[in-house]
Structure 1
Amino acid sequence: MFDQGNTAYVLITAAMVLLMTPGLAFFYGGLVKAKSVISMMMLSFGAIGLIAVLWVLYGYSMAFSNGPGGPAGDSTYIGWDGVFGFDPTMFSLNSLVDNAHSTASAAYPQLAFAAFQATFAIITVALISGAIADRAKFGAWMVFAGVWATVVYFPVASWVFNFTLGKDGSVVDGGWLAKMGLIDFAGGTAVHINAGSAGLALALVLGKRVGFAKGAYKPHNPPFVMLGAGLLWFGWFGFNAGSELGADGTASVAFINTLAAPAASILGWLIVEKLKDGKSTSVGAASGAVAGLVAITPACAALTPFWGMVLGIITGAICCLAIDWKFRLGFDDSLDVVGVHLVGGLVGTLFIGFFAYQGGVGLIYGGGFKQLGIQALAAVSVMIYSFVLAFVIGWIIQKTMGFRITSEDEIAGIDTAVHGEEGYVLLDERA
């Protein structure tokens, strides 16, 4: 029998994480031009539709070939066994229920875990879209999303999230980064560094927007941005605390850090923004919250709340400065996926090597430099892997079916050119 409380916890937190993607659609949608809002939000909703289907068909099998917490050699119970060995029972509801066994670490159905991890795959792909706002074809994006998820996210998720714990709590089997000793509780590497690196690659492939320059693009709807940030923050409690897969003390630590770190990051961002630009903005507050959430994701169960707040204020300040790098370096990362997710993910992942109290591995707790080295190796490995493959996939799409819309359509409005819709119809011509 499954523990109904544990099962409910996993399923509820999965629903919270799924809400993050519509929240991201609002966050990104408010940041773009008014004539791009439909296109921007559709990139997120397209990711929900496509990645959820691919996850059920084969993504979960690729990422968790041994099942969560199960013994080596276990097969998965939804989708294909691996990629090429089709499981003829996959469409049998009775077979799914019968095989949805409790794991070695918690009494919940494996299907609940599969659902939880599906939402991670969806949000990771959707995050990338912010780097190519205002200029990407929807069909080309969908092709990229499916291929990138298959060859990048599913394998990287296996490296980080697929592991079996021994009786002493150590990793005895699983992905190579997990076995190496990487501390990444909820996805600083697999989600944020992964998505940020892919976003940088696509920004380089598609090139700059027409008229790209500092101050040329203003968010058309700051209330949308703040609404999206609020939905993201709510869902992030499921993202981080839910990764414990049970309501216990570790989940509580992750929860309080998911409150404290983003709050401190807001302050760090607004202070730097005030010193740099003379004003503290609503968009800055929302961006600071997201930057703090990104940084605390890998570290939420490894830091004390005090160090979580220190991480937050440092990340807010660094990311506020980092978003201007695109103008100095000459790449057009439209909505600062690089400056917030790649940079924030790197800061949070490396911070663990210095200040992790978990297992006493942090440098200040006498753990030496070993954990810092592991964190750095994992971050760099995921960054290079994701960037290279995303660049290749994007370049092939651009050279074949075309990834970027024409300059004429970009100027006229991508919403009407690509989707035949407008975000704001102030006068119905039929009236």
Structure 2
Amino acid sequence: MVHRKALLKVIVALVFVTFSSQINAQQNETLRLSLEQAQQLAIERNRTLDNAELDVQIAQATKWQSISSLLPQVSASADYSNMFGYMMSFGEMKIALPSSATMAVTAAVTFNGAQVVGIALSEISRQMSDISLKKTAQTIANQVKTLYYSALVSKQTIDLLKSSLAEVEKLHNISQQSVDAGASEQVSADQMLVQVSTTKTTISGAERSLEMIYNALRLQLNLSPDSEIVLTDELDALIDTDLSMALLNEQFNIDNNYDYQLLKKNVDMAKKQLSMTQWSIAPTIRIAYQYSAKKTFGEGMNMTPPNTMNIGVSVPLFTSLQTAKKIKSAKLSYQKSMNSLADTENSLQVQYRQYCYDLKSAYEKYLNHEKNLEVNKRVFANMAAKYQQGYSSVLEMTNANTTLIGAQSSYVQSILELINAEIELNTLLNK
């Protein structure tokens, strides 16, 4: 018995350790993601997109609610009546009122023009939810793309800074050796040490910025804070300037833009709401059929007809101008939505021209800063060689290093500007 208890404890402990290991492995999962995989994962896991999908389902359910209002509504009822032996007197004749039970089934349908318009409104609402879902997916994919590129750019910045740090540390060692040999003053080595310290501080700041980008990416991918993300795509492979410039040759079809599609549906909805308000003064027709079965307990006659049909028409005659004012308000709302659509159409056309200009400008900046970086690398290397031979001063070396770091910063910034300009134009074109 003792051995069985000990064995049971060992099994429970092993299960607990295994389960804990699985949890820790899930919490510390490492994901290797390409840009496309990261975008797909974000779309699958993003709760904002889940809510947008739920909105589509809600709109679909609302549409069927509107349709069902035109279909027959069937109800059943049952009741029991007991008069407690009450006697009705008709002169010398008395009639007892017996207890009774009645069961009835009623089928009714109500029809008016506003119900038909309501179905059309529900369909427009469903279409708007579907467009919003696509727009949300596009926004999430663009956000992931921006973060992915930003992480790669930050990593490249850190690599460039570390390369500069290695050169500055090498020059500092040479300066210190020169001081130790009595060929130069200690202040020269100290100035180079300041450059080393400054570059290290810049690297630390860049690494913190990179971690912030990874945290933002974890939020987009709905990952735990301890999850490690490895980006498998290389920045040079993702930057396709030919593809970016090809966007400038794309025709802008405004009907493909999600914002414009939503506004057009909003105009359609305002028009249908006007129609619904106008139909509110139209007749409402109601048709009902009822079958009832009555059982009388005791003596008495059953005078309840088993089959009944009813057709009714109701027409609003006077609403103290309330309906007229509602119609006027709906007309004004419709006109307002038309004005907003026209303004948005003009605005999107202007945006298209501006985004094309921004993309051209970003591309030119990218080429310029790329060349500038190469030149500054050569200048720094040349200055470093002269410094080692004693032909350049510490001040000249410091200026060359500062200029190189500035060129590196401008280069990576131009990459981000090019990427953002491409994303903006791509989103507008809905490509």
TM-score class normalised by the smaller sequence: under 0.3
Per the normalisation by structure 2, the TM-score is: 0.28
Per the normalisation by structure 1, the TM-score is: 0.28
Larger radius of gyration: 2
